């Protein structure tokens, strides 16, 4: 069993590029959030208590419950050591290598070969693999995938992505409030202007926050690949897992891919229900070629590990 640590640092290689991007994204998202709420307060002066209540409640809900909701949505079910001894053993080895607390371990009943991690921090972390992944990967490949997922927890980018995505949720919520609350039926010119401007401002905020989180998401996946390869010392195993998972996606029924596609930001590898999917253009992940090229460079640096 991995030992208990007194330090919050793990042995995962620190990534200054990721830390800088997370800080920049959070600053810009926070600035956008303040501007957005300020605009709403100006446009909807008589409704400011409701606006503050809604924004506050949504933020708390998004921060505290979004990871659990996502895990439930992807079908994660926590398993004991007796139920999945090999999976627990692999997670234990990674925790020992990384010197970090063990997360909850879960399995999702899905033929889509994938894995994900959620949690605001190490104490609430959960790592999950699908039954499809367990059936297809060799032990060393599975270890690479799990090391990748647990690096998201160690780097705390899961929590940052959860907070960063909040503004997009809020913008969509406020657009619906403006459109369906009946403000547009008011004869007051200010309220009439509000019902026009609120959806426009909300749409602009959503687009900006969406692009910011996508840029961060693609980088964090490369950072997780890099950290996992350096921790395990076997970048070739992770590359093999990536190639296998990406190749197997084409054999998965479309209906299963459609269920998985909304959660692409969490998955080890994105699931697309069609080759023409818009998700490919606005993907949460870098391309397979980019990921394999990076792992090839790391392998050369490690002496062909």
* Catalytic annotation, residues: 149
Of 205, 185, 174, 206, the C-alpha closest to 53 is 174
> How many CB atoms neighbour CB 82 within 10 A?
7
Residues contacting 236, CB < 8 A, separation 6+: 295, 299, 305
- Both structure tokens of 86: 């090999």
Count CA atoms closer than 13 A to 103's CA, side-chain side. Answer: 29
Q: Tell me the three state secondary structure of residue 244.
A: helix
The answer to whether residues 104 and 125 touch, using CB atoms and an 8 Å cutoff, is yes
Strand order in the sheet with 104-108: 76-78, 104-108, 126-130, 115-118
Q: Tell me the three state secondary structure of residue 128.
A: strand
The answer to whether residues 25 and 212 touch, using CB atoms and an 8 Å cutoff, is yes
Residues 11, 91: Cα–Cα separation, whole Å: 15
Helix (H) / strand (E) containing 116: strand 115-118
Q: Is 221 annotated as a binding residue?
A: yes
Residues 288, 256: Cα–Cα separation, whole Å: 21
Strand 76-78, strand 104-108: pairing: antiparallel
Q: Is 152 annotated as a binding residue?
A: yes
Residues contacting 5, CB < 8 A, separation 6+: 99, 100, 101
| Residue stretches of the annotated binding site for Zn(2+) | 148, 152, 221
């Amino acid at each position: 069993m991995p030992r208990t640590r007194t330090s919050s640092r793990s042995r995962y290689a620190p990534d200054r590029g990721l830390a800088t991007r997370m800080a920049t994204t959070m600053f810009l998202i926070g600035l956008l959030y303040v501007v957005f709420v300020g605009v709403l307060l100006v446009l909807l002066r008589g409704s400011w208590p409701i606006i503050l209540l809604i924004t506050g409640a949504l933020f708390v809900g998004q921060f505290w419950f979004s990871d659990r909701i996502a895990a439930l949505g992807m079908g994660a079910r926590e398993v004991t050591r007796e139920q999945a001894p090999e999976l627990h053993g692999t997670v234990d080895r990674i925790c020992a290598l990384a010197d970090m607390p063990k997360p909850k371990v879960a399995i999702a009943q899905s033929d889509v070969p994938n894995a994900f991690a959620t949690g605001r921090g190490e104490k609430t972390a959960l790592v999950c693999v699908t039954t499809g992944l367990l059936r297809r990967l060799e032990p060393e490949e599975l270890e690479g995938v799990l090391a990748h997922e647990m690096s998201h927890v160690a780097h705390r980018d899961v929590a940052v992505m959860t907070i960063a995505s909040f503004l997009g949720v809020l913008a969509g919520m406020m657009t619906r409030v403006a459109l369906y609350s009946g403000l547009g039926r008011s004869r007051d010119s200010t309220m009439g202007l509000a019902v026009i401007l609120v959806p426009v401002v909300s749409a602009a905020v959503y687009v900006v926050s969406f692009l910011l989180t996508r840029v961060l998401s693609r980088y964090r996946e490369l950072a997780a690949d890099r950290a996992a390869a350096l921790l395990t010392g076997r970048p070739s195993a992770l590359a093999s897992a990536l190639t296998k998972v990406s190749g197997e996606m084409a054999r998965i029924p479309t209906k299963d891919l459609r269920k998985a596609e909304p959660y692409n930001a969490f998955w080890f590898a994105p699931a697309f229900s069609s080759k023409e999917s818009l998700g490919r253009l606005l993907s949460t992940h870098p391309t397979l070629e980019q990921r394999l090229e990076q792992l090839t460079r790391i392998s050369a640096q490690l002496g062909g590990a």
